[in-house]
Amino acid sequence: MPLIAFLISRTCSVFGLQILACTFIFRLVERGANPYSLSQLGLVATVASLAFAFPMGVIIDRMKKRTAILLSHFVLFSLVLALTIINPTDFILILVATGLVAISRNFRSISQFTVFGDLLKQETHKHRWVNKSTLSWQIAAFLAPLLAGLLGSGQISLFVATVFIAISFFCQLYIVRYLHDDFSSSEETDLTHSGLIQFLRSNFRLHSSLILDFFIVLFAGAASLLPFLHIGRDSAADIGILKSALPAGVIFGTWVRLQRPSLDGWTEKLLIATLGYGLCHLLLAESSSFYISYALLFGAGIFDALSLAVRECILQIDTPPAFKGRVYALNNFLVNASDELSEWESGIAAHLVGVRSAIRISGCFAIVGAGVFAWRAKQHRQVIPGPV
């Protein structure tokens, strides 16, 4: 079944890329790299990803689906295989490799999004497959660092990463047989950038979910402050436990939402998710207990899962084929930019007003964002589709 193959492919690609990234980090740490050096990996990956995100979306929108999906996965597979053979250990080589992987990963991610929408066309319960897709990569992102830790920093880790990426590529070879190139690049009216802007402006459900996600993530950098939240519980193990709470909550929340229509009452769900997320952060700022903090972060993850399920369905169902590449590129751009800016914002806020006040600011902005969204939703009354 093509959708099952898609889930396997997405899971394997996340596993492979996470193991690759962890291996590079392990190698730098063993060579005595400081936190600043490690931060350069994230900076290079973000800049490379953001710089090429929208051009890639434009290119993919003008390519046949089969060509885009096979080319993107082949490029990623070839790059990871080459890195396995080269086995880089030098800081500069690892830095360059990180940037190249970020670009190819973005290429793969955008093309995969356009294909997923095509595979969903014949499904009655589209929301279930969207939730399953989200759950698959969340579980992979949660487990991959654990597997990478067991494998260590040797070349065997790169071989394992290559195997996972190879499985993902061969799954795509199977999937392309079920794709239908029913979109013609000759539809110049639909392909223009002005047409894209007009479409986004007219679709309140889509553009509001994109902006809300960017706004909330931008001021939700509490995760970067967790090492300073509880004095005496700042060991690597304690920090790792706290950092795992949010993705664990996302996995649990996605599993709970699996069989439920995600777009039925979408405005209320996004409002509840954003309010709940903000409230968890406000309570986290007042928490003096390590275990209560874990529970609050887990709860924030559950609310984040609700928001993610709704937004993923909106992206897949509301975006027409002519715009899928660029809309998902825009989504990737906003998410990546807000992630990086969030850490910077939280660091500045913590320096100026303290760690707990910085977390309070995160919670307050989430609640303010929910209020603005509710006000805008009331202004844009529209017919909301039923369960999909």
Give per-residue pLDDT as tens, 314-367: 887 777 777 778 888 887 777 766 666 666 667 777 778 887 888 888 888 888
Torsion of CA 22, 26, 32, 33, to 10 degrees: -10
- At residue 35, the pLDDT reads 58
CB distance 46 to 336 below 8 Å: yes
In this prediction, the residues of the chain whose per-residue pLDDT falls under 70 are 34-36, 38-39, 122, 180-194, 218-227, 233-240, 258-264, 336-345, 380-388
- What pLDDT shows up at residue 165? 94
Structural contact between residues 287 and 222, judged by C-beta atoms closer than 8 angstroms: no
Concatenating the DSSP letter of every residue in 40-82 gives: HHHHHHHHHHHHHHHHHHHHHHTS-HHHHHHHHHHHHHHHHHH
Provide CATH 1.20.1250.20 ranges for the chain.
2-182, 191-379
* Three-point CA angle 318, 321, 324, nearest 5°: 70
Write down the pLDDT at residue 220: 66
User: Between 193-202 and 204-218, two packed helices, what is the crossing angle to 10 degrees?
Assistant: 90
The yes/no answer on whether domain 2-182 falls in CATH 1.20.1250.20 is yes
The number of beta carbons lying within 10 Å of the beta carbon of residue 315 is 20
pLDDT given at position 12: 92
Q: Return the CATH fold of 191-379.
A: Growth Hormone; Chain: A; (1.20.1250)
Please state, in angstroms and rounded to a whole number, the distance separating the CA atoms of residues 141 and 108: 17
